[in-house]
Amino acid sequence: MLTLTDYQKLDRDMIVQAIYDWIFQTDSGFLQKLAVNTVKGNGIKYNIKTERAGVSFQDPEDDIPETTPKIEQRSAAIYLAIKDCYLLKWAKETNATQDPWALQMKSDVEDFVAAINQMLVLGQTTTKGNTKQPKGMLRLIAELESELTTDLDGVNNSQVIANHATSGALGQDKFDELIDAVERPNFLMMSKRARRKLNTLIRASGSIVRIEQPELGKFVQFYNEIPIFINTNIPDNLDDNSSSVCNIAAWDAAQARGSGDDNTLIFCGRAMDESGFCINQAIPITQEPVGTHQKKDVEIRRIKWYYGHAAYDKYSLAVLTGVNPDE
């Protein structure tokens, strides 16, 4: 299994290595551990098992019935994430105490990572989504019901754990139900608001919160030995869980958080191997010099990534909907 950390070590371009460093400094630690598959072409079709095959229990001389799993096909296209960095030549020549180009590149990489983390969750969903974006976890989980499904239906999709329709109160039983929906889970992902609520529940139960610092400056909290990652793009202003269905495709990020619009989501999944939730990429993250702008005194550096997301196993992703951390 290769991760983004491995691709950083393999790349001989010192600027690209620095870009990876800035990505890892900006990210919560999740991206660098996410498994990466190399895909040739502009996308792939892949099979997921949506129902297990039956097993026959019988006498030795009985006829053996045919028992096959239910296999459905899903698509994972490759998308283009791209950003031009405008590096002022005047700033470079007139600043003797700093490296303005490095500072500008770092700032642009931070913006690039923010967009990648947003697509990781919300890609091709919400009122601002479009088909030029990679499918995020919400869309991939919705499609575990059917390829055309765009909402999170807790009745018809086993990977959607619907919390209480109106109160939204988070209990450890529902949290554990979310974890049980994933085979070999190795990550939890939530908003800061949801983590504060989880910490309250853990302390109330008398449990000890374990925190590790695997890398300099990064603190990772664990629940039942599963690391918790924060993604600030997970919404905290979703509608109440009416009929156990969360219509994420119609969610408007601009709506005010208040009564009836104060819910969030919590994810659980398996993402550190290629058989679960992972990144598909045609080429690794790269940079290329575009040259001098024709009408401005700037040098242009282009950052780009040909990539997408896929969930190769139905039981590698699940989401808990209808959570109100204030209850």
Question: What's the pLDDT at 280?
Answer: 93
Question: What's the pLDDT at 81?
Answer: 95
Measured in degrees and rounded to the nearest 5, phi and psi for residue 105 equal -60, -45
Taking residues 20-42, what's their average pLDDT? 86
Taking residues 176-191, what's their average pLDDT? 94
Half-sphere exposure of 269 (CA within 13 A, CB side): 33
Taking residues 298-311, what's their average pLDDT? 93
Residue 208 pLDDT class (50, 70, 90 cuts): low
Task: Please enumerate in sequence order all residues whose Cβ is within 8 A of that of 148, keeping only pairs 6 or more positions apart, or say none.
Answer: none
pLDDT digits (tens, 9 = 90+) for 112-125: 999 999 999 999 99
Taking residues 230-243, what's their average pLDDT? 86
Question: Which conformational region is residue 62 in: left (phi greater than 0), alpha (psi within -120 to 50 degrees), or beta?
Answer: beta
Question: What's the pLDDT at 84?
Answer: 94
Place of tokens 């870009």: 19
d(CA 273, CA 180): 19
Q: Is the pLDDT of residue 212 over 80?
A: no
Residue 288 tokens read as 């290329």
d(CA 24, CA 134): 21
d(CA 301, CA 288): 6
Q: Which of 15-24, 83-92, 249-258, 300-309 has the lowest mean pLDDT?
A: 249-258
Q: How far apart are the first and last CA of the chain?
A: 41
Q: Is the pLDDT of residue 213 over 70?
A: no
Q: Is the pLDDT of residue 86 over 90?
A: yes
Report the relative pairing of strands 187-190 and 226-230 from DSSP bridges.
parallel
**More confident site: 233 or 51:** 233
Cα–Cα distance list, 52 to 69, 157, 312, 315 (Å):
5, 15, 15, 11
Question: What's the pLDDT at 268?
Answer: 97
Taking residues 19-23, what's their average pLDDT? 87
Task: Please enumerate in sequence order all residues whose Cβ is within 8 A of that of 19, keeping only pairs 6 or more positions apart, or say none.
Answer: 105, 109, 285, 287, 303
Taking residues 38-47, what's their average pLDDT? 83
Question: What's the pLDDT at 325?
Answer: 83
Q: Is the pLDDT of residue 307 over 90?
A: yes
Q: What does pLDDT average to over the chain?
A: 87
Taking residues 201-222, what's their average pLDDT? 74
Q: Is the pLDDT of residue 250 over 70?
A: yes
**More confident site: 119 or 28:** 119
The rounded percent of the chain whose pLDDT value lies above 70 is: 95
Residue 94 pLDDT class (50, 70, 90 cuts): confident
Signed CA dihedral, 262, 268, 273, 277: sign only: negative
Residue 95 tokens read as 């600043």
Domains and CATH numbers, the chain: 147-274+314-323 (3.30.1930)
- In DSSP notation, 122-181 reads HTT-STT--TTSPP-HHHHHHTTT-TT--SEETTT-TTEEE--SSS----HHHHHHHHHT
**More confident site: 141 or 6:** 141
Taking residues 244-264, what's their average pLDDT? 82
**More confident site: 30 or 239:** 30
Q: Is the pLDDT of residue 98 over 90?
A: no
